[in-house]
Amino acid sequence: MSPLVAIFGGRSEIGSAVSRRLAPGADVVLAMRPGPLPEAVAACLAAGANRVETVEFDADIIGGQESVVAQIEERFGPIDVAVLAFGILGDQGAAESDPSVAAGILHTDFVAQASLLTVLARRMRQRGRGTLVAFSSVAGVRVRRANYVYGSAKAGLDGFASGLADALHGTGVHLIIARPGFVIGRMTAGMAPAPFSSTPDQVAEAVVRRIRAGHGVELWIPWQLRVMFAVAPLVPRAIWRRMPR
């Protein structure tokens, strides 16, 4: 039986890059908002996927997450690898003056992620197997003034995923917490890249290597960021508040 890979956020650049790398010999489901089929469908088939299917999915609709996961598993079988590749950067300036904008960023980047991880983890734990990938960020390691709404959402997700990973220890379910730095892509278009930036392909390559390794929770992308952010808590607040995004 072919492994089933589900990418939640199948239109994202990182999700597409991960799906291509996991496609050979697998069944791939791209869960995403309605619209034209993404290039990832053809790319997965070209990479050797047995089949590629799409399922309508809006992560922000919390009440619909359970039914989407159930639909996938009823149609295609148990999910072996689930990658949560959705998220928004949001408008920091607008979020500082409009609470609904701030709440929207927190909802997509933290609440919706935590909810879906809970749904997937429960099903995988019942079967005693599976791999989950959650995308945190170095932005959540120590939140910066320049993007504190997005950063706080990632901080919440990182903490939630860390606790969930410990709860899943010994169950046969592997949770990977990917912590990339600045990713050069559509989400950051027009922004100056930060030191140790990555591309979606580089992020995907690191994630897929970890999935195949089958062990290890925290994944810094690139690894040098782990050293850099080890000293972040020691930087005086007067200096840290002036740090760029």
Would you please indicate which residues are annotated as catalytic (active-site) residues?
Answer: 150
Task: Report CA Rg, the chain.
Answer: 18
Question: d(Cα 240, Cα 217) in Å, to the nearest integer?
Answer: 28
Question: d(Cα 164, Cα 118) in Å, to the nearest integer?
Answer: 8
